[in-house]
Structures are given as structure tokens and as C-alpha cells.
Amino acid sequence: MHLGVDSFVSAVTDPSTGRVVGPAERMAHLLEEIALADRVGLYSFGIGEHHRPEYYDSAPPVILAAAAARTSRIRLGSAVAVLSAADPVRVFQQFATLDLVSGGRIDLVVGRGSFTEAFPLFGLSLRDYDELFDEKLDLLLRIRESEHVTWSGRHRPPLTGQGVYPRPLQDPLPIWVGVGGSPESFVRAGLLGLPLMVAIIGGEPRQFAPLVDLYRRAGAEAGHPPEALRVGLHVFGFVAESTRAAADTIYPGWHEMFTKVSRERGFAEPTRAQFDATSGPDGAFFMGDPDTVATKIERVSGQLGGVERISLQMTNPRLAHADLLRGIELLGTEVAPRVASL
């Protein structure tokens, strides 16, 4: 079991002073967080991609390059790269270059994203939501397979044997498929034999067991060996000295985030009762003291038939930098050793 952290690089208001942390300072804090994750032995650190005013992660490769220069062991990656709205050639070039800069420590997790702002921003239609991802993933995998590519599709000019450079240090560059709750997404990843990163942001993790099983069965029927069908989880989480401290620290920012999203999508405003239920033993959030989080990781991995890695998304618009640093430290020094043998 490998543990890591994912960040959406949220804009932050300091909870003790009410001061809004500026973008440059927030980036400096982020790089400090990644460097700490490296020092305490965490396996990975991922950067999301959003095109919204409350996040500063619209250019993940730039952030990851800065992180690569400040770290030596930790794996770095996307969480996720919105492939549907990008050019697969440029995505491959950027992450291959990152792989060279980092000495072979890059994972590329691709998906369609949970927000839709990238589509109109880059002149794409939501009517093509599924087709865009299928087509671009096909091209990305073709580029990974061969430096000279002949390919054609509906949403990008064809390639007629051009070379795509540079080539990464890792051969092949690890490409994971980020999925939510669509059975078709699990089957697609299985048929392609690609590792699966499951985003669990609500409900109960054990509810994903049939979908993970569907992924493994699709992969097996397509002839892929079991060791290729790897499963990771992207979850909300936080570690503190006590479960109560974790909840009280995280709740104000959680309420702010989910109130905004609920209003945009026409949902009821979230409540503390919902938060507490989601943070409980069977809920989607991996939150609490080190023992509580480690126990939940072990239980959920068993429920899903074995999970290779779990990344805790700790972004929170009301979380003090010092508290986040302490959470990363506890995850690396207290939780990771407890689950390393799973």
C-alpha cells in the first residue's frame, strides 16, 4: 500500500486572521508541502487541473516541474489531467519532459474532470464529452507506444508519421485512467489494461466494489495479467492528532467548498450532519487521528479486493498552512508505516 497527497491548490483564507493568502504565497506554501511529503517518505504527490477562480492549478506540468527540482524520491503526477480538453501530443511531451527532469518519477493520470469549464475555454462542446476522451486517450496511448505515429480522428488534425519528442525516461510512461462512478469508464480502463484511479468523493467506498470487480473482469477477459490491473483511490482526507481535531479543522473549508458547488448544481446546502456521516467509519472521507485513518485504509482496501495506492486530497480553502504541514507529516510518519504491509 502506497500513500500520497493530492492537491487542487485551493485559494486559502487564513482561518485565524481572515487574511486571503495571495497566489504567489500559496504557490510557495504548496512547494513547501510537496518537499515535506518527500522528506517524510510519502509515495506520491499529485496536482489537479481546474480552470476556476478558487484554484491555482490550471497548469499542472509547470507546478510539477518546480516540485521535481525540490524533491528526490517522491513520485509526482496529475490528479487528473483533463485530457478531453487538451492536445494529447502536448500532454505527452510535457509529461515526458517532466519524467526526464524528475529522473523517472512521473505518473500521468488522465480523465474528464469533475468540472466542465475547460470545454468552453478551449472551444469544445460538451456534446462531445465522451467521444473527446475516447479519441484523445487512443492517440495518447499510440504516442506512448511509438515515437512515429499515424493516426486520424474527428477532433484533431491527423498525424502522418511525425515523431513526438522527447521520449520519457520510464518506458512506458505510466498512464492511469481517472474514473468516477460510470461503469463504462471502469470497463474501458480494464479493456485497455490501464491502471485505475477511482475518485471517491461521496457515498461509501464499499459501494465501488462491484465497479472495481467489473474493471478486473473486463481486463482479464481482454487478456491482461492481474498485475497490470492496478487500483488506486483519490479521496478527501485529513490527519490530525485526534479525530475531533481533524473534523473541527476541516469542516469550515469543507462547508465553503461544497456550498459553492451545491449552489452551482442546484443541490441542497450541505450540513454538519452530512459532514460527520461522510467522515465516519463507512463514509467517503479518510479523516481522523493516525490510527483511525490507517484502520479505514485497511478496511476499504479489503472491501475493494486490494488497493495499491491511496491519495488524500487535502485542499481546503480554510486550512492554515501549518495545519496542512502537520497533516502531511502525520500521514507520512504515522499512517504510512501502519499500512505499508497491506
- Domains in the chain: boundaries: 2-111+168-339
Query: Could you read off the pLDDT tens digit of each residue along the chain, which spans 342 residues?
Result: 999 999 999 999 999 999 999 999 999 999 999 999 999 999 999 999 999 999 999 999 999 999 999 999 999 999 999 999 999 999 999 999 999 999 999 999 999 987 899 999 999 999 999 999 999 999 999 999 999 999 999 999 999 999 999 999 999 999 999 999 899 999 999 999 999 999 998 899 999 999 999 999 999 999 999 999 999 999 999 999 999 999 999 999 999 998 988 888 888 888 999 999 999 999 999 999 999 999 999 999 999 999 999 999 998 999 999 999 999 999 999 999 999 988
- Partners of 177 in the beta sheet? 110, 196
Predicted confidence at residue 258, as pLDDT, reads 87
Predicted confidence at residue 44, as pLDDT, reads 98
Rounded to two decimals, the pTM is 0.96
CATH code for the part of the protein at 2-111+168-339: 3.20.20.30
